[in-house]
Amino acid sequence: MSAISTKNLTKYYGKHKGVSNINLDVREGEIFGFIGPNGAGKSTTIRMLMQLINPTSGEIKVLNQSLSTEQSVLRKNIGYLPSEINYYKDMTGKQVLEFAARANDIQLKETSTKEYAELLNFDMSKKVKSYSLGNRKKLGILQTLLHKPKLLILDEPTSGLDPLMQHSFFDLLKELNGTGMTIFFSTHVLSEVEKVCDRVAIIRNGEIIRTSKVSEIQESKKRTIEVQFAKSGNMIEKYDLKQIDSSVTFQNGIHHLTVQKEIHNALQHISQNAIQDISIHKPTLEELFMEYYEKEEGGK
Amino acid sequence: MKMNLIRNELFLNRRSFFISGSVILLFSAMFAGMADMYLSNELMIDMLKTMPQGLLDAFGMDAELMTTFEGWMAGEPYMFTVLLLGAFSGIWAATSISKEKDQQTGEFLFTLPYSRTSIFLHKVLTQFIQITMISLVNLLIVFIFGFLFSSIESPGTVLVLMLGAYFISLAFAGVGYAITSILSSERAAISLGVGIVLVSFLLNMLSSLNEKLNWMADFSLFSMFDTKQIVLESSLTMPGILITLGIYFAGIVIGNIIFVRRDITM
């Protein structure tokens, strides 16, 4: 069953395209990453899911409820963390959380907020205006989780958190996902997706260009080979390395080759000559993403 | 009724509520307390009689009425009450949604499990409570100072006068509600909230200066109730009541429709 489902979701701001024909299918119980650079349309899509902005066309279903009309009660099952969260400055963190808890018809003391606050090393007693960006984010995380929603929608959740907190946060996400919570989060930091996501959708210029499992993207056969031959100097022509990779380069005594298909033939070709050093490595998700993006950009 | 939303709104408006309440009450206490200094001042009344009627009307003064406490209160004190209460009501109403957008707290508030209509109407209700509370305490202050330092012959007339000021203030709030969802800047909302009251005051004032400018009064909420008539008849005219409350309710309906339909962009 789908936790989030969109069909040809489109948003135009006047003549300017926000997003176009977004088709998402986030299954219940999965961690779904929504990746793309700044301005790609991630927040626009999320704000439509939260009914903050109205789609120009297309359909949205969240937790099997159509969002063609306002579904305020449905929000009791959704935890939403915007990319830039702001609360009432004169309230303390605790007052904000109490207000949000009462909105969900629960008492703050009945929730796991205290436990999560300790985990995130967050002081609830201070006024919002005294919080740093990171602490405001922590408050946002606590508010998002306090009513134990079925679905978490997080827009750039780790911006403002230090690496240690990011680590704790991802551990928490995994733990919550283990209890059956569906998590949909947007980011432009690919290592975050690599860490926790089951599936991802890549968005560029307001359009989804690929949706797949993270493992499928990582299973690309592409390899980078760095080889230093026994004979010094540029051997690209002499050893006919362009037969393996037409864009082979030579830098600081090392030949850099990218192999798109089976690596076996490439290694056989290279090993016909004496090798001093060789290394082969898989591309990171970041490299694959950039390559994918550049490819799409070139195709346009 | 969502007490959570009312409590939140009261908390957010607490500072402006106390400031505005204090200013209005201070003015009223001053005007009511000093009434006799003007009423018993023959020189002042003689001077007023020499001034052109248009100029006196423009500043809410009438030599004929300046002989009783009720007549005195129908002049400048009434004008100032409408001006101040109207301005604060207009500001609260005009900033009710625009402030949430400007301070970017809307993304928190508008994604809680409340409908936009519910949020909007609870803001309206809270501000109605605030305006009513200030008006009631204001009336009480006028009565206390009036009885202590002057003599009130007809408390009913004073009540009707203050009721008129209250209705006009609600109408200014209605105008504020109609525009609040369109605005994204709190400063712009405050300027408009005050600006509308001042323009209305100026239109009323200018309309009294020359017969050719009388039409301006038709566009001013300050001319909704004829204070001279209130003092003489101790009642508010029905068209005035209907127009002021009509503007208030129409403003709420228009504001809510705009708020529900518009994208919330911050």
What are A234-271's pLDDT values in tens digits? 999 999 998 888 788 999 899 998 887 778 888 989 99
Query: Contact, A230 vs A273, CB < 8 A?
Result: yes
Classify residue A17 by burial, with Cβ atoms within 10 Å: 0-12, 13-18, 19+: middle
State the pLDDT at residue A293: 67
Q: Which residues of B touch A86 (CB under 8 A)?
A: 103-105, 107-108
Query: Contact, B40 vs A135, CB < 8 A?
Result: no
Q: Which residues partner with A27 through β-bridges?
A: A2
Any A CB within 8 A of B50 CB: no
Interface test mutation site (partner A, options B11, B13, B111, max chain A beta carbons within 10 A)? B111
**CATH 3.30.70 matches A223-282:** yes
Domain borders along chain A are 2-218, 223-282
Q: Which residues of A touch B263 (CB under 8 A)?
A: 52-54
How many angstroms separate the Cα of B259 from the Cα of each of B38, B102, B162, B192, B206? 49, 15, 32, 18, 35
The CATH class, in words, for A2-218 is: alpha beta
What is the pairing mode between strands A16-27 and A151-155? Answer: unpaired
Domain borders along chain B are 3-261
Amino acid B14 reads R
State the pLDDT at residue A285: 66
State the pLDDT at residue B46: 79
Between chain A and chain B, how many beta carbons pairs sit less than 8 Å apart? 62
Task: With residue A218 as reference, give the H or E element that holds it.
Answer: helix A214-218
Any B CB within 8 A of A80 CB: yes
Tell me which residue of A74, A34, A67 sits closest to A53, measured CA to CA: A67
State the pLDDT at residue A91: 96
Distance from CA of B138 to the nearest CA of A (A): 28
Interface test mutation site (partner A, options B10, B96, B108, B116, max chain A beta carbons within 10 A)? B108
Residue A298 has pLDDT above 70, yes or no: no
Amino acid A286 reads E
Query: Contact, A199 vs A30, CB < 8 A?
Result: yes
User: Residues 139..158 of A with a Cβ closer than 8 Å to B: which?
Assistant: 143
Any B CB within 8 A of A230 CB: no
| Interchain proximity B12–A88, CB inside 8 Å | yes
Residues 6 or more apart from A247 whose CB is under 8 A from it?
Answer: A258
| Fold agreement (A2-218, A223-282) | no
Indicate the average pLDDT of chain B: 91
**Residue owning tokens 């023959």:** B42
Classify residue B241 by burial, with Cβ atoms within 10 Å: 0-12, 13-18, 19+: middle
Any B CB within 8 A of A133 CB: no
Residue A221 has pLDDT above 70, yes or no: no
B26-70: pLDDT as tens digits? 999 999 998 888 877 778 777 777 877 777 776 777 777 778 899
Residue A158: both structure tokens together = 């780790």
Q: How many CB atoms lie within 10 A of CB B19?
A: 11
Distance from CA of A55 to the nearest CA of B (A): 9
Mean pLDDT of B235-262: 96
Nearest CA in chain A to B8: A99
State the pLDDT at residue A297: 61
Distance from CA of A72 to the nearest CA of B (A): 5
**Three-state DSSP state, A253:** coil
Interface test mutation site (partner B, options A44, A52, A78, max chain B beta carbons within 10 A)? A52
